[in-house]
Amino acid sequence: MSQFAGRTIIITGATSGIGEATAYAFGREGARVAMAGRRADKGEQVARQTNDLGGEALFIQADMREDADIKRMVDMVVDTWGRLDFAFNNAGMFGPEAPHHAYDDDVWDEWMTLNLKGVYRCMKYELAAMMTDDRHDGPSRCIVNNASIMGQRGSIYAGPAYAASKHGVIGLTQQGAISYARENIRVNSVSPGPTVTEITAATAALPEEMKQKVIDDLLPIGRMGEAEEVAAAVLFLCSDGASMVTGQDIAVDGGQLAKL
């Protein structure tokens, strides 16, 4: 029997891309998967597929920009299954941004509310829920945040809000790790590089020669990552095999960060 069978995870931003792939990965392991997102039709579809793969799925329509939605999400999981073992705080947005000198305060506030404050709020309620189940012995509980390689350095492909928010996510991860280690709760993050999702559709649609040049310039491995590869890293971080891993950011980037 899988070590994840019957254990409970919340995945935000689960209606597409990395979140969807992670829901399926935990479903195959027999986990109870609560998936949150704004698109009810797609969310229900992902829930059905997760059930078909062997998991037990619950879709919760929620907006990670809204504190009340986040609290309701965590409460619903605990009310339904009685416990929270894992969380993957994946919801976020990426897109073209203006340079710093031309940046708009409203845009800054919107991006920071979802990408950083949303993760902070998720962690707040998730940690509180995990601590009500007093398990200082046995398998640890785990939170994984979705950061970005742009949370470790600047990039010509991102603007100030995205880079700052993702640096902040890594900071929240490290602070959470040292604050809750004695509660048997581990906190880590994953930092994907360019990954095939709806967000990177514009790159995928480039003529093949042009696309390959972009990829070769960025990625030593010579290809973009797959959402399933990020999901595998999340699965590992939540596993017993990562029981000594906390406060770490794992780059899933095909060597991009290592490239000077």
Q: What is the DSSP string of 64-110?
A: TT-HHHHHHHHHHHHHHHS---EEEE----------GGG--HHHHHH
The pLDDT of residue 204 = 65
Give just the sign of the alpha carbon dihedral 107, 113, 119, 122: negative
The tally of domains found in the chain comes to 1
| Catalytic residue (one of 24, 125, 162, 180) | 162
Residue 108 in domain:
yes
**Residue 230 belongs to a domain:** yes
Per-residue pLDDT averaged across 57-61, rounded?
98
User: Does the pTM exceed 0.85?
Assistant: yes
Q: In this model, does residue 199 exceed pLDDT 80?
A: no
Domain with 230, as residue range(s), is: 8-198+226-252
Q: Identify whether 216 is part of a domain.
A: no
Average pLDDT over residues 22-47: 97
Q: What is the DSSP letter of 189?
A: E
- Calculate mean pLDDT across residues 190-206: 79
Q: How many residues does the chain have?
A: 260
Do 189 and 169 meet the contact criterion of CB atoms below 8 Å apart? yes
In a domain, 65, yes or no: yes
pLDDT for 167 equals 97
162 among known catalytic residues: yes
Question: What's residue 217's pLDDT?
Answer: 84
DSSP 163: H
Q: pLDDT value at position 260?
A: 67
Residue 145 lies in a domain: yes
What percent of the chain shows pLDDT beyond 90? 79
At residue 197, the pLDDT reads 80
Domain membership of residue 257 (yes or no) is no
